[in-house]
Amino acid sequence: MNLRDRHFWIILATGALLGTLGVLLAVWGNPENSGICVSCFIENSAGALGFHDNPRMQYLRPELIGFVLGAAVSAIAAREFRSRGGRAPLPRLVSGIFLMVGCAVFIGCPIKLFLRLTAGDLTAAAGVIGLVAGVWAGLRGLSNGVELGTHQREQGGSGLLVPVFFALLLVFLIFRPGFVLSSDKGSAAQYAPWAISLGVGLLLGALAQRSRFCITGSVRDAMLMGLRSYMPWGFLAFCGAAVMFNISSGRFHPGMFGQPGSHPDHIWSFLGMGLVGWISVIIGGCPFRQLIKAGEGDADAGLVVLGMFIGGALVQSWGIAATAAGVSFYGKVAVLAGFTFILATSLLCRERIA
């Protein structure tokens, strides 16, 4: 670890601010333990655009818009914005759908997983073990030659499509056309003031683009390099800041029962996060990281984001998403289908290593 390396401090600042603002957004109005949850926000935003009809999950989340546009502005300013892609588009699209399935069955993305744990939700421990197991499975695949294709630079500015789409969502957020829906009950009706949420998203998007911070990437690097990698230090800063602000704001309630946004089906929490960890390693990042990469011109990540929006609609329309009562039959089938998909993809995309 080189303390004189500016990149180390950028990663540390990104992790600390992600943990701090993840708690504060809940204090300012977002659902408890869900100050930042990429999968929940995508389900909310898909509902706001009319992609599903759950009246409790419809709100165009400003944080999502900020993540992508903040990353785009940062990449353009640093002359790092480049249209690139062409690597296994359909597997990436379907991967995005199953990322949402895993998150919906657990109830939260990897960021929310640790926000729940740092608020004392001990049911999240099953998800942590599952995420680590999934990352391990993904690393085993990579070490055995699983590769989704060669990275290529693209002509025609295709990498701009996702940032332009989110810029359009920003217009919808500000001017609120009649076809954009908004819940008046349920978790989507709980939100921080939109200008604050947008500002937080822009800040975190820019920092994450500069630092390349990723939750599953931190777990991966810890397995491969321990604390010699900078990423786990950012992750520790994230958890430390979240614990500190949860305690100081009176939101730390350790226990297994009565935790917000959780359910008692621990095996399915394990499997849901296991699916997310495995897919994230194969496609190069967690749901948050995919948004950031899409913002800096990565069309492959853009396809994952599109898949996540499709998945966000399907988990609500098909009854896949878990509730406080537990995981539905369709949710269990969808998780098993996700494991079948990623196993088949790994076998079909495996290159023999000489």
Does the pLDDT at position 344 exceed 90?
yes
pTM of structure = 0.95
Does the pLDDT at position 323 exceed 80?
yes
Alpha helices in 107-230 (DSSP H): 110-118, 124-143, 161-175, 194-211, 215-225
Encoding tokens for residue 215? 């939750």
Q: What is the residue extent of each domain of the chain?
A: 6-349
CA distances from 270 to 58, 188, 231, 237, 329 (A): 27, 25, 23, 24, 16
Q: Which of 3, 31, 19 is nearest to 215 (CA)?
A: 19
Q: Output the CA torsion sign for 155, 159, 161, 163.
A: negative
The more confident residue out of 157 and 268 is 268
Q: What is the pLDDT of residues 244-290, one digit of tens each?
A: 999 999 999 999 988 998 999 999 999 999 999 999 999 999 999 99
Encoding tokens for residue 86? 């062409």
Contact 135, 282 (CB under 8 A): no
Q: List beta partners, residue 187.
A: none
Does the pLDDT at position 153 exceed 90?
no
Q: What is the pLDDT of residue 86?
A: 75
Q: What is the pLDDT of residues 159-195, one digit of tens each?
A: 899 999 999 999 999 999 999 999 999 999 999 999 9
Encoding tokens for residue 267? 């095996």
Q: What is the pLDDT of residue 151?
A: 66
Q: What is the pLDDT of residues 230-242, one digit of tens each?
A: 999 999 999 999 9
Other C-beta atoms lying within 10 Å of the C-beta of residue 37: 32
Does the pLDDT at position 320 exceed 60?
yes
Q: Name 75's Cβ contacts closer than 8 Å, sequence gap at least 6.
A: 81, 209, 295, 296, 297
At residue 84, the 3 state secondary structure works out as strand
Q: What is the pLDDT of residues 16-55, one digit of tens each?
A: 999 999 999 999 999 999 999 999 999 999 999 999 999 9
Q: Name 29's Cβ contacts closer than 8 Å, sequence gap at least 6.
A: 190, 191, 192, 193
Does the pLDDT at position 155 exceed 90?
no
Encoding tokens for residue 29? 């109005």
Q: Report how far Cα 92 is from the mean position of its chain's Cα atoms.
A: 15
Write down the mean pLDDT value for the chain.
Answer: 94
Dist CA 258 CA 327 (whole Å): 16
